Chains A and B, each alone.
Chain A
Amino acid sequence: MKTLLKTVLLTFLLHPSLSAQDINWRAKDSPRHLVAAGFGADYNFYYNVSYGYLFRSGSIPAAIGTEFSLPFGSEIADDWKWRTSVQAELWHRGNLSLSVRPAFILRRHASPLARMYNVAADVTVLWGYLKPKWGIMALANYDGAIATHIKHRLLKESYPEITDGWYGKTGGNFKLGTRANLSVKSWNVYFTAGKHFGQNFKDNPTLPFFLELAVQRPLGK
């Protein structure tokens, strides 16, 4: 167990490319750990790795998970996103399921113009149909920036009076989409796709859609 955690942590820190926050609550086996890797497009093209730990809180199945994403590009770790979430299935009847996943997000962005560290929070609601071997869920998400520290680079040359430091809420984005999952032998495959919008549904991201393909390996019982 310790070795596994160390491996996950080291991979997370030294080769930051970890995504396993997707859970099929109806899976026949009840694994303790979920490890996943994925790639997709969400603002930019990225790859990620994640780890999730499943437990029960009273009668409610729940999970904590962490996910690390890196955009493709020649600079490996100048931009990244680290999301830590808690997830619980709040309601289910037969194969219908409703779960909620609040998360805390840290981001780093660096480019010739500026470097940013961003603290954000998001919440995802999943509602749909889950069978032991497959499922399909509707997804709604809001991701809001809480605070961002900016240090300007070239922009400071262009505008010397530009203010470095902490900035408060700078907005947020909504996502609406679908997640489908399929289990093959001891692997789970998740495909997520949808559209995202700026919080005012007017000033939307350049890439108007998001999608992700993730492969997940359940471990332990």
Chain B
Amino acid sequence: MRKVKRFIPLLLITGCCASSCRMEDAAKPGALVPLTVDQDFTLPSVHINGTHLHVESFGKPGDPLLFIIHGGPGGDYRSMLNARAYAKDGFHVVFYDQRGTGLSKRENAENFQGENAVQLFIDDLDALITFFRVTDTQKVFLMGHSWGAMLATGYINQHPHKVSGAVLSEPGGFSWAQTSEYLSRSNKVKFFSEALSDMTFPEQIFAGRPEHEILDYKAAFAANYENGPGNTIGNAGIYPFWRSGAVSFKTLIENAEKYGFDFTTRLHLFKPKILFLYSELNTAYGKNWAETVSSPYPDAELKLIRNSGHEVLHFGWADYYPYSLTYLNQMK
């Protein structure tokens, strides 16, 4: 009977449709995905390196800087807001949504298609560090998650003397070959799963439209697959986010497939210890992979985050916070 009842709203809705309800435009800014910094001037932001980023900071400007670098590419920092806590611990904590994603200004695909696309992200971070640094002696720490940990490593590889330490959680890999090997495990398709249907079914409805708002909305449904019941990466559910940057994600993955990358070429020059975290419930990661990925760093301390999947700053905060704070206090 319950199944039959599911058809009743459909009949009512069809009737309503036939009698010409007012139709919203799915591509209208703000209708299906939040406004970005160039559309909503109340959002905290910084114009930098030729783009407009969603940026906010907590703590005293003179304290050691701690940059929070989110995953993706194409994610945002909303699920990492627990990290505001470090402001009370004597750090100036800076959050930013990367170029073209989250609440940062949208950028066209051309922005991410060149051979040096990843360099743009490294340069954005460098420009932000320059922007927030108030003295030349102020220490800079990077806290990167997933793709954010890869980007942090890309930065350290180019600027080993500008960073005093890093907390890295589950970067897929530090080269494209390593990352694609990890992705082949973490993104293994479960063909007959509810999670796959929950991700792909809306593609019948939102289809072949190029507007970013529609692409971003459709991309949000990937969260259903990534975090669905029994997901490989061990997340307990869907974590908070603002906007999936569909264009940035798709184009950067294509870019990596085409050009590849290697963030390890100068890591031997980075002398400070890093803290490398991996989660207990991500079956695609584990201790062996953590050892493999972290090995180019001369001094890496590995720690397991218990009872958490990949999204450790959200689901594994109980372990993440004390481990990372102990490390940061040692290094500051």
Measuring CB to CB, which residues of chain A are less than 8 angstroms from any residue of chain B? 13-14, 16, 41, 43-45, 71-77, 79, 81, 106-109, 111-113, 116-120, 143, 145-150, 154-155, 157-159, 161-163, 165-168, 170-174, 197-207
Residues of A within 8 A of B195 (CB): 73
B302 within 8 A of A: no
Q: In the bound complex, do residue B205 and residue A166 qualify as a contact, i.e. CB atoms below 8 Å apart?
A: no
Q: In the bound complex, do residue B24 and residue A167 qualify as a contact, i.e. CB atoms below 8 Å apart?
A: yes
B46 within 8 A of A: no
Q: In the bound complex, do residue A168 and residue B203 qualify as a contact, i.e. CB atoms below 8 Å apart?
A: no
- Bitwise, B221-235 to A at CB < 8 A (1) or not (0) is 101100001000000
Residues of B within 8 A of A173 (CB): 203-204, 207-208
Given the contacts A108-B10, A166-B17, A167-B25, A116 and B205 also touching, CB distance less than 8 Å:
yes
A168 interface neighbour in B24, B34, B193, Cβ under 8 Å: B24
Nearest residue in B to A173 (C-beta to C-beta)? B207
Nearest residue in B to A162 (C-beta to C-beta)? B32
B192 interface neighbour in A45, A79, A106, A171, Cβ under 8 Å: A45
Residues of B within 8 A of A118 (CB): 204-205
Q: In the bound complex, do residue B205 and residue A107 qualify as a contact, i.e. CB atoms below 8 Å apart?
A: yes
Q: In the bound complex, do residue A171 and residue B209 qualify as a contact, i.e. CB atoms below 8 Å apart?
A: yes
B197 within 8 A of A: yes
Q: List 30 A-B contacts (CB under 8 A).
A: A44-B201, A45-B197, A72-B193, A73-B193, A111-B198, A112-B198, A117-B13, A118-B204, A118-B205, A146-B17, A147-B21, A159-B33, A163-B32, A165-B22, A165-B24, A166-B21, A166-B24, A170-B205, A170-B207, A171-B206, A173-B203, A199-B207, A199-B208, A199-B209, A200-B209, A202-B208, A204-B208, A205-B200, A205-B203, A205-B207
Q: In the bound complex, do residue B30 and residue A170 qualify as a contact, i.e. CB atoms below 8 Å apart?
A: no
Measuring CB to CB, which residues of chain B are less than 8 angstroms from any residue of chain A? 3-4, 6-7, 9-10, 13-14, 16-17, 21-26, 30-34, 78, 191-210, 214-215, 220-221, 223-224, 229, 237-238, 240-242
Q: In the bound complex, do residue B17 and residue A147 qualify as a contact, i.e. CB atoms below 8 Å apart?
A: yes
Determine which residue in A106, A146, A155, A203 has the highest number of CB atoms from chain B within 10 A of its CB, and name it.
A203
Nearest residue in B to A146 (C-beta to C-beta)? B17
Closest 5 CB pairs of A and B: A198-B208, A73-B194, A199-B208, A168-B23, A111-B198
Q: In the bound complex, do residue B209 and residue A116 qualify as a contact, i.e. CB atoms below 8 Å apart?
A: no
B196 to chain A, nearest CB (A): 6
Given the contacts A113-B238, A167-B25, A106 and B200 also touching, CB distance less than 8 Å:
no
A113 interface neighbour in B7, B200, B223, Cβ under 8 Å: B223
Nearest residue in B to A154 (C-beta to C-beta)? B238
Q: In the bound complex, do residue A198 and residue B207 qualify as a contact, i.e. CB atoms below 8 Å apart?
A: yes
A108 interface neighbour in B6, B33, B240, Cβ under 8 Å: B6
- Give Cα A154 to B223, complex, Å: 11
A184 to chain B, nearest CB (A): 27
B203 interface neighbour in A43, A154, A165, Cβ under 8 Å: A43
Given the contacts A13-B4, A109-B201, A200 and B210 also touching, CB distance less than 8 Å:
yes
A43 to chain B, nearest CB (A): 5
B34 interface neighbour in A148, A161, A174, Cβ under 8 Å: A161
Q: In the bound complex, do residue B4 and residue A14 qualify as a contact, i.e. CB atoms below 8 Å apart?
A: yes
Nearest residue in A to B222 (C-beta to C-beta)? A206
Given the contacts A43-B200, A171-B208, A113 and B22 also touching, CB distance less than 8 Å:
no
Nearest residue in A to B243 (C-beta to C-beta)? A159
B56 to chain A, nearest CB (A): 18
B113 to chain A, nearest CB (A): 14
